[in-house]
Structure 1
Amino acid sequence: MSTGVTAVWGRAEQQDFRSRVRGALLGGAIGDALGAGVSALSLEEIRAAHGPDAVTDFVPAHGARGTVTAATQLTLFTVDGLIRAQVRRDTGAWHPPTDVHRAHLRWAATQHDWGPDERRKDNGWLAAQEWLYARRAPTRECLGGLGDAVMGTLDHPKNPAAHDAAAVTRSAPFGLLVGWEPQLVLQLAVECAAHTHGHPTALLSAGAFAVLVHGLARGETLDGSVQRVLALLAERPGHEPVTEALRQALGTVRQGIPGPTLVESLGATGSADEVLAGAVYCALVGEDVRHGLRLAVNHGGPSSATGALCGALLGAMHGETALPPGWLAELEGRATLLELADDFAMEMTQGPALHSPATAAPGWLARYPR
């Protein structure tokens, strides 16, 4: 698989890229945590529990405020897999879906092990983070799809009927491969979605979301990125539900003052295309990150998933400095997210200085073993 582009990075470009990587990962985690405590509630139930303005700040979930779900956990391991793919390329092995799958299996271990397995020297540093060893509402599709070592592929996907949003919510990192061409980003996200989800709607929603993040991380507008996605999807069989959902999101922008009714009009079933459409709409109409994320979680649909997608879009669009400091301060795993984001940015901009087929920085290989 060729990435299509070899990037040359100046200092200002590196700093902008790092800010957008941090923004996408932290923003997605904030949106995930903001909706985690209300995902199973109707709008009426949310207002009954949290007041007429509904959720305006983190509310308790999984025993504390600011806690993330399996969506953020899997996103972190997706990043880890992409870094490991770059490092393993030195050996002549180049198949990112395999490295991402291995990373997802390391996540699966966190869902049944008591803590890190110190005997596994090839696990790297992320799998050694004890806070990740917690079940945070993982879907049956993710647990089942990663329940054995067999990798789902496009020819033989896991859970071929699954079309929920759990494969989409872990797909932002593919869009941060800004040196890749958009069609390759789409293909990689689709192939990795097949690890747990096989329905075309889930596969193509994951690919579409990755390309949206890709455009924003390159400094493009969200509207322009949607148009690119629509053009790429048109070539794919089974694209119609995703294409129609994104077109409805664009059309809903012109239908009046943003609010829960308009978000729910895009769908509240939890299907990947509907969650993606809701997130895109909230990112398009949000006056700022705080406003967009409040729209994304205060409705009767899957609040956490919609918040995670919207947060990643807004974070990639505006960079980390646009994220509300109060939410960042309370966010579970913030230090790990920042460290991983910076490692990803360093690998993608300065990888040849860290490792090559002939030499490598020992510390880097300890963090990301080949």
Structure 2
Amino acid sequence: MSTEPATPAPAPAPTLESRIHGCLLGGALGDSLGYAVEFEDIAGIRAKFGPSGLQDFAALDGGSHFSDDTQLTLYTVDGLMEALEWANSGVGADTNACLWLAYLRWLATQGVPVPEAAPFQPPRWIDSHEVLKHRRAPGNACLSGLATGEMGTFYRPVNPDSKGCGTVMRSAPFGLVPYITAEAVYKLSSDAASLTHGHPAARQAAGVFSLLIHALASGLDLHDAARNAIGRLDEGLLHQGEVPDPDLVARLEAALRLSSNGRLLNPEELVRELGEGWVAEEALAVALYAVLATAPAADRPEDGDPEAHFRAAVTLAVNHSGDSDSTASIAGNILGTFYGKDCLPAAWLDALEAPEVIRGMASRLAALTAG
């Protein structure tokens, strides 16, 4: 009779509902922790929180708020939900138009007049929450692109030279819609990015991020999902005649390479190698690096602790000189999708602003998609 200890059964895969909640709440947690230091350089962060920087919500005496990153992510959910509601009632709808109208309603919450030429849309459930009406350092391109009153497209771009990270940080929800192809996910995400940003890197980074979320929601592991999403840039998902943006490809390949060298970059090295995160390709690269570099060894996934991984990745994505809330928000979206909601630290959730609003949007999306 063998005395070998029994191999523990693998944990069951998270449900889609758990992944949706994990993605939206995880992104909000990263956003909130990072927003507390968004405009601080690493020297200022260390001076305030110690040599390791900001590691926990407990260090924030006054708490923290989520930023426009979470606001726009939830409005992305709302635009997708409206399109799904029309589809479920048997009526086809222009998904990008639904998203544009949702973003215009967000624009009105930021104290920016909605152009008179823009179509009127009645308020929806999301619009009733005051927490989503606070101005939390919204991106200039998101504001100016929507304020034109023009529905930006690939062929008629607004802000044609802008590649700010405002496209990436709001695009996780496109990957949470099941039963659609990777091609459809990429198109939804990149078309929605064109509503505010015209630079190829902004569109393509948003599309790759949504593909990564889609792959994780479909059950791929972190490394396979990352390679799959990045590889799709060369597989015909781009608009006809468009080529992969070289800066985006270089940053993402660097994130993969650096995450496998067995040593965590310090904050100065992180910025030098991958950037500060203010533009789309840098924000995605920093977040991807943070997630992969802190993951358990590929050959020993059983050694991993999902909550510890979430904490390590988010705090790595927070502590650098740059756009800390966006990089940490993207990292939180990724791991929340991968592990589901059980990876989220309970104490952090207790500190989260208005979790009922985020859970409310997650539950509504899950009801429309997960059954």
Q: Is the 8 A contact 1:71 1:169 kept in 2?
A: yes
CA shift at 1:60, angstroms?
Answer: 8.8
Q: Is the 8 A contact 2:260 2:293 kept in 1?
A: no
User: How many angstroms apart in 2 are the aligned matches of 1:77 and 1:122?
Assistant: 14
User: How many angstroms apart in 1 are the aligned matches of 2:74 and 2:370?
Assistant: 19
Match of 1:271 in 2: 279
Q: In structure 2, give the amino acid aligned to 1:24.
A: C
Match of 2:370 in 1: 349
User: Deviation string for 1:29-85 (max 9, x for gaps)?
Assistant: 110111102122221111011111210123899x94231000100000100111100
Match of 1:104 in 2: 103
Q: Which runs of 5+ in 2 are unaligned?
A: 1-11, 114-119, 296-308
2:259 counterpart of 1:253 = yes
Amino-acid identity (%): 35
Moved over 4 A (4+): none
User: How many angstroms apart in 2 are the aligned matches of 1:223 and 1:269?
Assistant: 21
CA shift at 1:231, angstroms?
Answer: 2.6
| Secondary structure of 1:345's aligned partner | helix
User: Deviation string for 1:300-322 (max 9, x for gaps)?
Assistant: 12111100100000100111111
User: How many angstroms apart in 1 are the aligned matches of 2:58 and 2:39?
Assistant: 14
CA shift at 1:212, angstroms?
Answer: 0.5
Query: Aligned in 2, Cα 1:269/1:79: closer, same or farther, shift over 3 Å?
Result: closer
Match of 2:294 in 1: 286
Q: In structure 2, give the amino acid aligned to 1:177.
A: V
Match of 1:187 in 2: 187
Selected match of 2:357 from 336, 350, 357: 336
CA shift at 1:257, angstroms?
Answer: 2.1
Match of 1:78 in 2: 76
CA shift at 1:124, angstroms?
Answer: 1.2
Q: Which runs of 5+ in 1 are unaligned?
A: 1-11, 115-119, 351-370
| Secondary structure of 1:169's aligned partner | helix
Query: Aligned in 2, Cα 1:91/1:158: closer, same or farther, shift over 3 Å?
Result: farther
Most deviating of 148-157 and 40-49: 148-157
Q: Is the 8 A contact 1:252 1:262 kept in 2?
A: no
2:173 counterpart of 1:167 = no
Query: Aligned in 2, Cα 1:231/1:192: closer, same or farther, shift over 3 Å?
Result: same
Matches within 5 A, 1:10-89: 16-58=15-57, 64-89=62-87
2:196 counterpart of 1:196 = yes
User: How many angstroms apart in 2 are the aligned matches of 1:349 and 1:311?
Assistant: 21
Matches within 5 A, 1:308-327: 308-327=329-348
TM-score w.r.t. length of structure 2? 0.85
RMSD of equivalent CA atoms: 2.1
Q: Is the 8 A contact 1:263 1:282 kept in 2?
A: no
Match of 2:116 in 1: none
Match of 2:230 in 1: 230
User: How many angstroms apart in 1 are the aligned matches of 2:319 and 2:344?
Assistant: 19
Q: Is the 8 A contact 2:17 2:370 kept in 1?
A: no
User: How many angstroms apart in 2 are the aligned matches of 1:60 and 1:294?
Assistant: 13
Q: In structure 1, give the amino acid aligned to 2:105.
A: R
CA shift at 1:241, angstroms?
Answer: 2.0
Q: Is the 8 A contact 2:314 2:332 kept in 1?
A: yes
Q: In structure 1, give the amino acid aligned to 2:255.
A: A
Query: Aligned in 2, Cα 1:91/1:145: closer, same or farther, shift over 3 Å?
Result: farther
User: How many angstroms apart in 2 are the aligned matches of 1:43 and 1:238?
Assistant: 35
